[in-house]
Structure 1
Amino acid sequence: MYTIREGYAPFRHYQTWFRVCGDIDSGLTPLVVAHGGPGCTHDYVDAFRDIALSGRAVIHYDQLGNGRSTHLPQQPADFWQPALFLDELANLLLHLNIADNYALLGQSWGGMLGAEHAVTQPKGLKALIIANSPASMALWLQGAAKLRAQLPADVQQTLLDHEAAGTLDSAEYKAASAVFYQRHVCRLDPWPAEVRRTFDAMDADPTVYHAMNGPTEFHVIGSMKAWTIIDRLARITVPVLLISGRYDEATPEVVQPFMDHISGAEWVISKLRAICRTSKSASCA
């Protein structure tokens, strides 16, 4: 077993919720887990906590605007920028007194955030794991379009019709979107409770997701739509592990630039799974 400690890190005028599983002072570099979205919660990647059984502390947190951290639905769309979350991460590291020694695991948007953090070459970062993340949103949209073209024709047409009409909140559009999610986000049926909790939380407050991404994984119209880090990846000097899956919405083409531009990066592609959502092992969706 391992100890569990929860708390809040003051950040500007807000609060960032965090949880530490295990002993930060064990002598092993603690692992910080950054969830995806933007706009998800820590729940769907909660199972990484059991890495603490090895003696390595694992830190989860809910990013600002999400989960147990301060919600800010009144903030304008331009408030939600990568720089905000980079500042929040740096603040959390200082609050936990691990800024001089930590590893970072980022899933989807969390991997994008992790890459943005790593290109600044922070002295305390010892390793980076980028799971199911794109190196640019242009590549992400190209990959999503290819996956979407493989959906049943009636599902594709429903998506197109509602996107043209602007009726993205309709039950029909959501049902059609769910077909894509079942194939490329979480292939388990039914979805695990921790995945469901994250999506329920996003439905309850989609502020961050809608502002930065858009209404769905494949209809990206938010502030991140032109994001890329490809031209800065060579600045990353720590060991990097890339993770993706056979059915992943992060297709090989969107991950490849990380491999091409980060010296010494390693890449593991699961041939049986889609996105590493709920566990470090067999529960990955």
Structure 2
Amino acid sequence: MPLEPSAKGTVPFGEYRTWYRITGDIHADRPAVVVVHGGPGSTHDYLLQLTELAEQGWPVVHYDQLGNGGSTHLPNKGAEFWKVDLFAAELANLLSELGIADNYVLFGQSWGGLLAAKHAMTRPAGLRGLVVANSPASYPLWLSEMAVLRAQLPPDVQETLLRHEAAETFESPEYLAAMRVFYDRHVCRILPWPRDFLSSFMEIYNDPTVYYTMNGPNEFHVIGTLKDWSIIDELDAIRTPTLLISGKYDEATPVTMQPYFDRIPNVRWEIFENSSHCPHLEESDRFTEVMVGFLKELAQRDELAQPTALAQPVGESRS
């Protein structure tokens, strides 16, 4: 069960508000782990498992990105408003408003991994470490790999998906049931779905403004403002020690994550053999062990005041 928050509330972001939740003491010596959720257009709920890090002594900050959850909802804003730079500015503002910009670690999951990596490219002095979890380095790569995964679905499921996509009946119960086959394979393999995961899933549908505008109707059809977005050519700018996390059955396949490993100099990659897109839920004990190990490495690095070479990834190589 997630730990109870030690504080929660909102901070101003221009004329809007960003909701946050703190577990532990963010002003203690250890860096706060700031959790950047996926979507775009999801909420923090499905990542509450990370509060376990507070039991190990690392304070944890969750927040809801603008447009969803406890943050300001803006259902009348269009594509010209919902830009990557908006969410990058919101993250930087949150760090400043909470007073942790001089000592923090970023954990970005799915879309949040791209957003966290974009932040790290600016080389902020207070960023101690970066975790990119289940996150493609580009949406064109994501879409090409989606086609690969869809081709592995049962023929009747593929036929159902294609038929409803041609008719644009994305809300049909039959279509949603076919989508569920994909989700159970490549998004969350725990059945029934955990409560926290369901909470975020339902939040998207309660207000789909951000998801529909930036992504599209579902995981298969990124037709929104992100459809051509890639950070591959900018990854060389990251100098922060980085941990990559993915699942063996992840919709963020190794092909979509390989650019992080190829281009970030100080990087390690952990692949969870019994997980898909949510190792923090699917293999929670090992996930916490890996995260705590990485955080301890960062602490040792700071104590020695010199870079620590990180291990090679499980099952992957630079060559």
Q: Quick one: distance in 2 between partners of 1:266 and 1:25?
A: 28
Contact 1:106 1:129 in 2 (8 A): yes
Tell me the amino acid that sits aligned with residue 162 of structure 1: H
For residues 39-118 of structure 1, what are the structure 2 equivalents within 5 Å?
39-118=41-120
1:30 counterpart (25, 28, 32):
32
Identity value in percent: 55
Tell me the amino acid that sits aligned with residue 125 of structure 2: K
Equivalent in the alignment of 1:166: 168
Superposed CA offset, 1:194-217 (max 9, x none): 011111111111111111111111
Equivalent in the alignment of 1:175: 177
Equivalent in the alignment of 2:9: 7
Contact 2:44 2:62 in 1 (8 A): yes
How far off is 1:164 after superposition? 1.5
Equivalent in the alignment of 2:194: 192
Equivalent in the alignment of 2:246: 244
Equivalent in the alignment of 1:127: 129
Report how many aligned residue pairs link the two structures: 284
Tell me the amino acid that sits aligned with residue 210 of structure 1: Y
Superposed CA offset, 1:205-232 (max 9, x none): 1111111111111111111010101100
Contact 2:247 2:279 in 1 (8 A): no
How far off is 1:3 after superposition? 5.8
Contact 2:272 2:279 in 1 (8 A): no
Residue segments in structure 1 that go unaligned for 5+ positions in a row? none
How far off is 1:147 after superposition? 0.6
Superposed CA offset, 1:106-127 (max 9, x none): 0000101001111111121111
RMSD between aligned residues: 1.5
How far off is 1:275 after superposition? 1.7
**SS across alignment from 1:232:** helix
1:156 counterpart (155, 158, 177):
158
TM-score by length of 1: 0.96
Q: Quick one: distance in 2 between partners of 1:51 and 1:233?
A: 27
Q: Quick one: distance in 1 between partners of 2:202 and 2:75?
A: 16
How far off is 1:278 after superposition? 4.7
For residues 202-221 of structure 1, what are the structure 2 equivalents within 5 Å?
202-221=204-223
Contact 1:22 1:58 in 2 (8 A): yes
CA pair 151-92 structure 1, distance change in 2 beyond 3 A: same
How far off is 1:78 after superposition? 2.3
Residue segments in structure 2 that go unaligned for 5+ positions in a row? 288-319
Contact 1:65 1:73 in 2 (8 A): yes
**SS across alignment from 1:122:** coil
Equivalent in the alignment of 1:235: 237
Are residue 281 (structure 1) and residue 284 (structure 2) matched?
Answer: yes
**SS across alignment from 1:144:** helix
Q: Quick one: distance in 2 between partners of 1:34 and 1:62?
A: 8
Contact 1:195 1:277 in 2 (8 A): no
**SS across alignment from 1:79:** coil
Tell me the amino acid that sits aligned with residue 53 of structure 2: I
Contact 1:65 1:71 in 2 (8 A): yes
